[in-house]
Amino acid sequence: MNIAQFHQAVEHVWQQIEEKIDDEGLSIDTEIQGAVCTLTFDDKSQIIINKQEAMLELWLASKLGGIHFKNVDGEWVTDEGNTFWQHLEEAFIRHGETVSF
């Protein structure tokens, strides 16, 4: 994966998240600035998803802690093989919302 493909893949993830939040009518503020996507919940807690271009990784920070993902065959996964979407759903639950990506 080259740098352009990396940015395109991450931006696709961000778009999917925004669309799901809108489709579900969730009260979550989504803000994208540069390499960072911030999801802010009603209680002011946040999930931060950011691009780590130097390592071609997607990072997720939430009440679950910080988790790093690499793109393997088109899927964002941890070294243990867990998907970004699995972790994001768990993070949403910890932040008080249930959603299925």
The percentage of the chain sitting over the pLDDT mark of 70, rounded to a whole number, equals: 100
* Cβ atoms 63, 95 nearer than 8 A: yes
Stated as kind and residue range, the H or E segment containing 14 is helix 3-24
pTM confidence score: 0.91
Domains and CATH numbers, the chain: 3-95 (3.30.920.10)
Give the three-state DSSP class for 44.
coil
pLDDT band at residue 87 using 50, 70 and 90 as cut-offs: very high
